Amino acid sequence: MEENKEEVTITYETLFELLRREKERSELQKLDSSFFANVLRYLKDKQTIITKQQTDLFSAEEKKKTEEQLSNVKKILKEFYDKREKKIMSMAIDKSKNKSSIIDNSVFLKEERELFDNIG
């Protein structure tokens, strides 16, 4: 059976919004299963813009803007990842303390599920 994946377009704004939601809410937020692949594609696209041959002033300005945006995106992603990692670790600690198996597994990405299972 073929899985129907809906591709989410990653932009600076969507990453910023995801970080904002993750910070505001105590529970782990649900992400598309292809989130990491989509983020990698976005980062590669930005890197391509930076490494292209620059022939005019407009290109140089676009390159500088893209470099700044890429730097900011990396900061957002680090904070986003750290926030999710802390929530996952907290969930694993709660599970081990309470011996409870009532955990919403649907919010974990594959890599996050592995982290949770290895901690708990």
Report pLDDT digits (tens) over 50-109: 887 666 777 788 888 899 999 999 999 999 999 999 999 998 888 888 876 677 888 999
**Is 5 within the bounds of a domain?**
no
Which residues form the domain of 18?
12-24+31-119
**Is 7 within the bounds of a domain?**
no
**Is 110 within the bounds of a domain?**
yes
- How many domains is the chain partitioned into structurally? 1
Report pLDDT digits (tens) over 20-31: 999 999 999 999
Length of the chain: 120
Band the pLDDT of 34: cuts 50, 70, 90.
Answer: very high
**Is 6 within the bounds of a domain?**
no
Query: Can you tell me the distance from the alpha carbon of 24 to that of 109, in angstroms, rounded to the nearest whole number?
Result: 20
**Is 2 within the bounds of a domain?**
no
pTM for this model (two decimals): 0.82
**Is 3 within the bounds of a domain?**
no
